[in-house]
């Protein structure tokens, strides 16, 4: 399966940004861990991170013929990007929304996701394992 993994704003700072919330691994380490996991080893991945909403939308559009599934951590865009929501909906590729932290037990504004209604599922609060569980759900959905 071809899997597009998208990471939103500030996730380029993983490993140094609030490690007590987001964990000690860098984004590169986390993506390598996912790709080389038992579940990821037989699949092709493309990884993308941007702090810019339009670049995320362009990537979703540009990879729509390659990707069979999307794992997306929209980060702060989770709470207000109807444009990313529309892009996911428009390409009709199964997507799983993932978050390192438990967004349901954080600040009130973080508890709302405008992205999740167009995704197959949402996984949060499991640290880096959120990505692995998201991958498992995506592969199960494809089966």
Catalytic residues: 22, 99
Residue among 53, 59, 46, 45 at smallest CA distance from 9: 53
3-state secondary structure the chain: CEEEEEECCCHHHCCCCCHHHHCCCCHHHHHHHHHHCCCCCCCEEEEEECCCHHHHHHHHHHCCCCCCEEEEECHHHHHCCHHHHHHHHHHCCCEEEEECCCHHHCCHHHHCCCCHHHCCEEEECCCCHHHHHHHHHHHHHHC
């Amino acid at each position: 399966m071809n899997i597009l993994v998208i990471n939103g704003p500030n996730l380029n700072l993983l490993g140094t940004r609030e490690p007590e919330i987001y964990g000690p691994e860098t984004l590169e380490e986390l993506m390598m861990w996912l790709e080389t996991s038992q579940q990821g080893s037989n699949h092709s991945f493309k990884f993308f991170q941007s702090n810019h909403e339009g670049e995320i939308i362009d990537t979703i559009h540009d990879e729509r013929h390659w990707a069979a599934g999307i794992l997306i951590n929209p980060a702060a865009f989770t709470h207000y990007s109807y444009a990313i929501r529309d892009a996911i909906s428009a390409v009709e590729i199964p997507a799983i929304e993932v978050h390192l932290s438990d967004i349901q037990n954080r600040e009130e504004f973080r508890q709302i996701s405008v992205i999740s209604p167009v995704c197959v599922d949402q996984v949060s609060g499991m640290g880096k394992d959120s990505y692995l569980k998201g991958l498992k759900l995506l592969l199960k959905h494809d089966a």
